[in-house]
Structure 1
Amino acid sequence: MIYARNARKSSRSDQALDKSSERHKTPDPLSQVFSLLNVRAARCTRFEAGGNWSYRFPAKPALKFGAVIRGDCWIDFGDEAHHRLATGDCFLLANAPAYVLANDQRLAPEDGMAAFDWSQSDVARHAGSDTVLLAGSFGFEASDAGLLLDALPRFLLIPSRSPSAPVIHSTLEILDLEIRGTGIGAAVLTDRLADVLLVQVLRAALDQSAGEGLGWINALVDARIGKAIRLMHEDAAQPWTLEALSEAIAMSRSAFSKRFKSLVGLAPLDYLLRWRMRLARDLLRRGATVSATAAQLGYSSESAFGHAFKRVYGHAPKRYWRGQATGEKFPNASNKLS
């Protein structure tokens, strides 16, 4: 809060309200990661089928979601991994492998992409609507896609019996109406609803995973490690040390380091470095100068910042900055929150 020079001094309650407001305005770590990844829904579709059917869909290096609105079917990955899908089930496919959707596994699968005219409609139909599925995919900044995809299992199922299923189902109902409807702004709404659905499914997955199988995402909901990550995200320019972080979350240095690395896959200060450089790359993309970026992230000189940037991305920030205007392609750094 900014006061005029002659205004009264703020009271402690005013200051507390200001600080509380600032905390509420600070996005949580997952929201910040989503923002930097520029997560966006690519397309949402509806699939209706009756009778006996089986369709094969190709592998796609993307994040896809699917949900059964009516009926049931099988999803088969061709390596003896197949799962029964029932009404109300929702699932994610990370780095989506080739798969078959079918209600009769004895049938030879048809080509799911060739069987329907996806260019003309977001609704595909086959002999009725005994079974109805919604599906969609998400796009990312290409060099950052692995940050989220590598943290997720190939197939993540949120069953209809999950405590989170009613909330997800509410979003799916609205999404279904928009896919089938012709109202103005339908494309905007389907994109936003897909974004909401993705976060809801990840929340449900965290609730049911008990801290297993979701990579660094699990760390965000760990009481102490999650707090440490929030501190680093809220003030990346702060000269954090291992001692300061461990004291802030009431853990010993050794216990903190061990637990952090087991959940995140990186040592705390290595994570901090990579988070700063991801922020730096975003600032450079948006036109910030190297010197301004260095100062904003707490570096005492362009040289110190340049060494840190090159350590993570393998090239100097000035080259990256100039390359944005020419469309130059840069090698990707490690996707572990790099």
Structure 2
Amino acid sequence: MHPFDSVLSAMQIRSSLFVRMQAHAPWAISFDSGAQARLVVIAKGRGWFTHAGYPPVVVQQGDCLIIKQGVMGILGDAPDRVAVPCWHIADHVTGEAVSFGGDGEACEFFSTLFSFDHAAGEPLSALLPDVVQVAMPESDAGRMVSILEQIGIEEAHESLGGSYVVGRLLDVLFIQAIRTWASAEGNMPEGWLAGLTHRQLSQTLHRIHADLAHPWTLDQLARSASMSRSTFAALFKSVVGIPPLTYIATWRIYQAKLILASGQSITTAAEQTGYGSDIALSRAFKVATGMSPGQWRREQTM
């Protein structure tokens, strides 16, 4: 499985509080997603989005916002409006259109909270800014609105298997937004996604992810990329942001977290990530996270 696919699969994205909003100027709504992230898609019209420390930006039909958990933002018809909290407008409303604001120009948008397994989502979440703004191509924008409308239908009617359908539709929306954002010029950050799409490094990274437990050496990795050790190490760090062996260690700890979170033993996690013994894994795990594997697992269940 492609590393990007495996991360998305492990994240187990789930939606809640889906709502379609019809705002009329003057209007402004504040989003505070708390422990959940938020997806907003502008279906018609335009507005301004603001979040702390950044200048206001225009969002318009076809634009998509992914707002990370814990990030507050304001969407309105102008950047200086007094905002009404989202929950005042749409608390406990799902699958229905909610109108608010005045009697001026209209803006229609969809908003849904979504949550995911944060340990599983670490590699992707670390790459994304607090707010991802995506200007979708017209064809994709129309498709996203159609998918959101289908989510609204599923949420409203509570059909058989509806939660599963909503989950898969949300996966499609999220993946399409991330794809479009990452492919836009200047957006791809240094990190594993940059490495996986790099012409000279992608095959080597795929080999690493296919067998994280292998006792990789810098010589082996450089040979797989048909480069000298020094050239490979320098290129890898410039693209991915960290040295090759540090990268492998980081992903081994990530994989160990997934194994531990699934209820398997520390011994199993050590064997499947190449550490060979509980002691070796525990030592590396504590260096990376500041706690032992057992402590980390207990914190996840609290």
Fold match (TM-score > 0.5): yes
Whether contact under 8 Å (1:241, 1:269) holds in the other structure is yes
Which of 145, 157, 163 is equivalent to 1:182? Answer: 157
Alpha-carbon distance in 1 for matches of 2:53, 2:175: 29
Alpha-carbon distance in 1 for matches of 2:131, 2:70: 8
Alpha-carbon distance in 1 for matches of 2:144, 2:259: 33
Structure 1 position 80, deviation (Å): 6.0
Consecutive unaligned residues of structure 2, counting only runs of 5 or more, are: none
Whether contact under 8 Å (2:7, 2:121) holds in the other structure is no
Partner of 1:152: 128
Which of 71, 81, 93 is equivalent to 2:67? Answer: 93
Whether contact under 8 Å (1:29, 1:229) holds in the other structure is no
Alpha-carbon distance in 2 for matches of 1:302, 1:59: 38
Whether contact under 8 Å (1:280, 1:293) holds in the other structure is yes
When residues 92 and 315 of structure 1 are mapped into structure 2, their CA distance, relative to the original with a 3 A threshold, is: closer
Structure 1 position 214, deviation (Å): 6.3
Structure 2 counterpart of 1:244, which letter? Answer: Q
Q: What do you get for the CA RMSD once the two structures are aligned?
A: 2.9
Using the aligned pairs only, state the percent identity. Answer: 23
Partner of 1:169: 142
Consecutive unaligned residues of structure 1, counting only runs of 5 or more, are: 1-26, 331-338
Partner of 2:57: 83
When residues 232 and 59 of structure 1 are mapped into structure 2, their CA distance, relative to the original with a 3 A threshold, is: same
What secondary structure is seen at the aligned counterpart in 2 of 1:209?
coil
Deviations 1:292-337 (A, max 9, x none): 33333344444434433333334444x35xx85xxx327xxxxxxx
Alpha-carbon distance in 1 for matches of 2:24, 2:54: 25
TM-score by length of 2: 0.83
Structure 1 position 144, deviation (Å): 5.8
Q: Verify: 1:102 aligned to 2:76, yes or no.
A: yes
| Count of equivalent residues | 294
Partner of 1:71: 45
Alpha-carbon distance in 2 for matches of 1:144, 1:292: 18
Bigger radius of gyration among the two: 1
When residues 29 and 97 of structure 1 are mapped into structure 2, their CA distance, relative to the original with a 3 A threshold, is: same
What secondary structure is seen at the aligned counterpart in 2 of 1:30?
helix
Name the structure where strand makes up a greater proportion of residues.
2
